[in-house]
Amino acid sequence: VFTIQDVVYVLHTLQPQTRSMLSEVEKLIKLCLALPISVTASERSFSALRRLKTWLRNTMKQERLTHLAIMNAHSDLLDECDVSALLEEFISRSTERRSTFGKV
């Protein structure tokens, strides 16, 4: 056994009776597979959160801070969003918004 993939392969090829005896090992392997390869992604998220908190400090509630942190962590997906469609939907949900912003 040289890699985690080898261990996973061995576990998948075991008979169900044998596999049930190794349930804790299987749980440990699943946890190992769920761990990030490096900590850089989580460090980036914490750095971004620290920047957000410094910038906005106590001017927002936890829910908004959470949403901004998620948006920052997934900025690549946000770059692909059609902003005009999002604006149109936001404005169309309220008559006050429609009167303020008009047609986008």
Helix %, strand %, coil % of the chain (to 5): 75, 0, 25
Mind listing the pLDDT tens digit for each residue in 56-68? 666 667 788 788 8
Query: Is the whole model's pTM more than 0.75, yes or no?
Result: no
Residues with Cβ < 8 Å from 8, sequence gap 6 or more? Answer: 29, 33
* Cα-based distances in Å from 28 to 4, 31, 102: 11, 5, 56
Contact 8, 28 (CB under 8 A): no
Mind listing the pLDDT tens digit for each residue in 19-48? 777 788 778 877 877 776 666 666 777 787
